[in-house]
Amino acid sequence: MLTTDRLILRQWKSEDIEKFIKINKNTRVMKYYPDILTRSETLKFISTESKFLQENGWGYWAVELKSSGDFLGFIGLKEEKTLFDFSPCVAIAWRLDEDSWGHGYASEGAEVVLKYAFEHLNLDEVVAFTAVINMRSEDLMKHLKMSKIKEFTHPSLDEKHLLSKHILYAIKNKSWVKNQ
């Protein structure tokens, strides 16, 4: 479990399921993903990520608002072993409920996740990527002091797909330490 002034990043709970199903069916939240997730896809996601988190002590943490206990989505790390030409790597990612946008929760949670990645996992680098047209996520990457590395075509998407063009950002452990 990780904490910030306003957030708890924790293991997934059964109470998160229905809210996360709703988040994954929200077309605004899923705008930069190839498709919304079905109920069964969301259940599989939670099961997979919960198991990984339990076994490794890190992964995609469920995000809870301290003041209310409300589930907001997830922020965390995922190992990408072979999918990309820049694999293996560890990527930071986030997906929060639309109602929680604009409050700084994603940056607050991502900062504590980077701290954990560098101070506890001793990673040399953490990457982030998104569709080129996803300006909000790119702004968050910049806020985290990540550097743009390149643009690339996502290998899981057809080159003609609206979301196929992606950007890759990264931050090195030594750069992160300097910024603290």
What pLDDT is recorded for position 178? 56
What pLDDT is recorded for position 179? 61
Number of H helices, E strands in the chain: 5, 8
Task: Please state the φ and ψ torsions of residue 2, each to the nearest 5 degrees.
Answer: -120, 150
Per-residue confidence in pLDDT tens, the chain, 180 aa? 999 999 999 999 999 999 999 999 999 999 999 899 999 999 999 999 999 999 999 999 999 999 999 999 999 999 999 888 999 999 999 999 999 999 999 999 999 999 999 999 999 999 999 999 999 999 999 999 999 999 999 998 888 988 999 999 999 986 655 565
What pLDDT is recorded for position 180? 57
User: By C-alpha distance, which of 174, 135, 130, 121 is closest to 149?
Assistant: 130
- In this prediction the pTM is 0.92
HSE of 79 in the Cβ direction (CA atoms, 13 Å)? 9
Concatenating the DSSP letter of every residue in 101-163 gives: TTSSHHHHHHHHHHHHHHHTS--SEEEEEEETT-HHHHHHHHHTT-EEEEEEE-TTS-TTSTT
What pLDDT is recorded for position 158? 87
Domains and CATH numbers, the chain: 2-179 (3.40.630.30)
